[in-house]
Homo-oligomer: A and B are copies of this chain.
């Protein structure tokens, strides 16, 4: 029997509540599909900061490095710790474990309402592959003459050949795989999310690497769209997209908008992958910790359960992953269980239990 060691970081705000539902599902599929899961819980986050003056112990990466995966709730509570401090936990893991692919599927389950008219379960089925270790998030820069009239700040994006080409390779392989499987509305296309008309070094470089990488995948169609135009197309014709490859910042922005096509943040999950499995990958809902809802049991756990599904895919437990997907689809299209964000009154736990029950009853 395979047994997986999973580090759990519930984090802040609603993190614990949604993580709990995810873990119940994880245990259940392990039983059902005959593998083992051993979890270890780490209470890092903003409360930890208030006690210890840091979001996590200095040796966090050493502690985590031998796990098979990291399962994260959410991080941040601006009332306690400024966001750019608290979120360093997240960014440290992404970079420290070279999780250079941030994989964010944008898919709409049947039965879910969205504010976008064009968003249907047929038209919304694509994936954003976001660079996750460099680019605009490199944290290179500084301040000049702070607190004087002449003050300025510099923020430098760093775009390396290695960093750009590997994430683009991943995107092309994914498009090829989706084409083979016939997944999605548009098949076998990688869209390059650019802004080279204005960002005359970083994005000109990015485009050039994109052209070079794409030459290796003649079976995959490509196009290039500016990040500003992509936000329009998401809303106007989401069926255009199959796989989008984007820089760290652009990937961040367009996947939040993408969540609107999925019915909201309650449905959007993400995987921070080190595809070579040299280091553990990390799985998380992409929503924030919503401190004001913490402890109320009203957050939608579907995004977190989706991230468990992605974790199982990464670990190679494909049947378990499929079973979760099926159970989510069944509960959502049933339309009976609705959390607050869906306009209903069911609790985090009730949604979790409904999916769990359906999963156990399924075959």
Interface flags, A240-264, vs B, CB<8A=1, else 0: 0000000001001111110110001
A3 interface residue (CB < 8 Å to B): no
A-B pairs with the 9 shortest C-beta distances?
A153-B205, A155-B202, A141-B201, A228-B256, A83-B197, A231-B257, A152-B160, A151-B161, A156-B156
A264–B235 CA distance with the chains assembled, in angstroms: 10
Q: List 17 A-B contacts (CB under 8 A).
A: A87-B198, A141-B201, A143-B201, A143-B205, A148-B161, A149-B161, A151-B161, A152-B159, A152-B161, A155-B199, A155-B203, A195-B249, A198-B249, A228-B255, A229-B256, A232-B257, A235-B260
Min CB distance, A6 to chain B, in Å? 26
A310 interface residue (CB < 8 Å to B): no
Q: Which interface residue of A203, A253, A259 has the most chain B CB atoms within 10 A?
A: A253
Min CB distance, A216 to chain B, in Å? 15
Cβ of A232 and Cβ of B152 under 8 Å apart?
no
Closest to A212 in B: B147
Q: Assuming the A-B contacts A153-B204, A205-B143, A228-B252, are A196 and B158 also in contact, with contact meaning beta carbons closer than 8 angstroms in the complex?
A: no
Cβ of A153 and Cβ of B117 under 8 Å apart?
no
A162 interface residue (CB < 8 Å to B): yes
New A-B pairs, 10, CB < 8 Å, besides A153-B202, A232-B260? A136-B199, A137-B199, A152-B161, A153-B205, A154-B158, A155-B199, A155-B200, A232-B257, A235-B235, A235-B260
Cβ of A158 and Cβ of B162 under 8 Å apart?
no
Which of B137, B201, B257, B264 is A155 in contact with, Cβ under 8 Å?
B201
A40 interface residue (CB < 8 Å to B): no
A136–B256 CA distance with the chains assembled, in angstroms: 21
A interface majority secondary structure: mixed
A357 interface residue (CB < 8 Å to B): no
A175 interface residue (CB < 8 Å to B): no
A157–B158 CA distance with the chains assembled, in angstroms: 12
Closest to A154 in B: B156
Closest to A286 in B: B228
A139 interface residue (CB < 8 Å to B): yes
Closest to A194 in B: B83
The interface size of chain A toward B, counting residues with CB under 8 Å, comes to 60
Closest to A257 in B: B231
A37 interface residue (CB < 8 Å to B): no
Cβ of A265 and Cβ of B162 under 8 Å apart?
no
Cβ of A204 and Cβ of B260 under 8 Å apart?
no
Cβ of A253 and Cβ of B228 under 8 Å apart?
yes
A32 interface residue (CB < 8 Å to B): no
Which of B116, B200, B231 is A141 in contact with, Cβ under 8 Å?
B200
Which of B158, B159, B200, B236 is A84 in contact with, Cβ under 8 Å?
B200
Min CB distance, A129 to chain B, in Å? 17
Q: Which residues of B contact A228 (CB under 8 A)?
A: 252-253, 255-257
Closest to A153 in B: B205
A34 interface residue (CB < 8 Å to B): no
Cβ of B256 and Cβ of A232 under 8 Å apart?
yes
Min CB distance, A167 to chain B, in Å? 14
Q: Assuming the A-B contacts A149-B162, A257-B232, are A198 and B154 also in contact, with contact meaning beta carbons closer than 8 angstroms in the complex?
A: no
